[in-house]
């Protein structure tokens, strides 16, 4: 009986070892068998994703959409020294911005249907808090309105912008931006600036379309029409301010040549001038003592 039992045990040992050779057996943790991958016809499963890693389906930011390209990495980061007159010196436009056509990065959800939409409401406290408004401004918060309007980007897509404007100008400005959207006039960015934004050291390459800004007239102590919510600046980089040696934004000198038409420029007989003229707002490009190509205001100042 013992001999037969030993023979059976030996036979079982051979079968087990043969099975391990053909199919692979797992030994004790850390043993040689554990370090060998199983020989299977399918690829091994990928390791679990890190909780902080982006989803596999997320696409990288676009570098080109139509004729528009992503912003240079250095945009907004190179601070310019300010001179004794309070302004930074005008400089030659970098090659990347000589024909500026930048893809809009959405600050607000774009219109899902790609059409023009607009809302007008009293200014929410959270919006007022991130604006440049304070009790020292020449307009009461109750006399301002918060606008959200659609605009067409240089990428050809519909986006949503925001403006703070005087209550008595809100409906007219919705009409203006509806006309610009219909005309396909491109705008790079439209958002509300904070007091920190207004007082930040200049980089000379900003291009935010906006209305309310609680500040005086450039080089003056009187309140600007922007401080009342009764002025709008359109694509400042393509339409700079120019007086003597002062150019704002400082890197926009290539756009002082108004004979060379490029997308986003305000033209004397173009859709922007016509849209604002329809609500009675003159254009700063018609000023004689200086040129403020970005600027439109209710008073003409």
pLDDT recorded at residue 241 = 98
Q: Pairing state of beta strands 246-248 and 241-243? A: antiparallel
The phi, psi pair for 146, rounded to 5°, reads -100, 115
The answer, as to whether pTM is greater than 0.85, is: no
Among the listed residues 271, 208, 214, the one whose alpha carbon sits nearest the alpha carbon of residue 238: 208
**SS3 at position 12:** helix
- Model confidence at 29, pLDDT cuts 50, 70, 90, reads very low
Distance from chain centroid for Cα 40: 49
For residue range 142-156, list pLDDT tens digits in order.
999 999 999 999 999
For residue range 33-54, list pLDDT tens digits in order.
333 333 334 444 444 433 333 4
- Model confidence at 26, pLDDT cuts 50, 70, 90, reads very low
Distance of CA 35 to CAs 18, 21, 23, 28, 30, Å?
A: 19, 15, 15, 10, 7
- Model confidence at 61, pLDDT cuts 50, 70, 90, reads confident
Which residues are registered as beta bridge partners of 69? 64, 102
What's the mean pLDDT in 201-209?
98
- Listed in order, strand segments (DSSP E) in the chain are 64-65, 68-69, 118-122, 144-152, 158-166, 189-190, 208-209, 231-233, 241-243, 246-248, 291-292, 295-297
Per 3-state DSSP, the chain is made up of helix, strand and coil in percentages (nearest 5) of 25, 20, 55
């Amino acid at each position: 009986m013992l001999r037969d039992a030993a023979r059976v045990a030996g036979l079982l040992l051979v079968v087990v070892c043969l099975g391990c050779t053909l199919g692979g057996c797992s030994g004790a943790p850390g043993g040689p068998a554990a370090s060998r991958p199983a020989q299977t016809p399918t690829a091994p499963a990928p390791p679990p994703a890190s909780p902080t890693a982006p989803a596999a389906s997320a696409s990288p930011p676009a570098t080109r959409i139509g004729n528009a390209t992503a912003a240079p990495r250095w945009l907004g980061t190179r601070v310019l020294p300010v001179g004794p007159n309070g302004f930074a010196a005008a400089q030659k436009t970098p090659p990347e911005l000589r024909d500026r056509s930048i893809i809009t990065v959405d600050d607000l959800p774009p219109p899902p249907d790609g059409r023009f939409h607009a809302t007008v409401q009293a200014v929410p406290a959270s919006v007022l808090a991130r604006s440049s408004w304070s009790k020292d401004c020449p307009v009461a918060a109750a006399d301002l309105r918060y606008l959200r309007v659609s605009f067409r980007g240089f990428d050809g897509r519909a986006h949503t912008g925001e403006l703070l404007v005087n209550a008595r100008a809100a409906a007219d400005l919705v009409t203006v931006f509806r006309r610009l959207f219909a005309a396909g006039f491109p705008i790079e960015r439209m958002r509300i600036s904070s007091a920190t934004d207004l007082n930040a050291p200049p980089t000379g390459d900003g291009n935010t379309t906006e209305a309310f800004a609680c500040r005086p007239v450039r080089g003056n102590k009187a309140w600007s029409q922007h401080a009342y919510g009764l002025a709008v600046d359109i694509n400042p980089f393509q339409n700079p301010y120019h007086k003597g040696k002062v150019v704002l934004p400082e890197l926009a000198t290539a756009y002082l040549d108004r004979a060379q038409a490029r997308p986003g420029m305000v033209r004397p007989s173009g859709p922007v001038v016509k849209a604002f003229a329809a609500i009675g707002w003159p254009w700063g490009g018609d000023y004689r003592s200086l040129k403020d190509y970005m600027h439109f205001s209710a008073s003409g100042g």
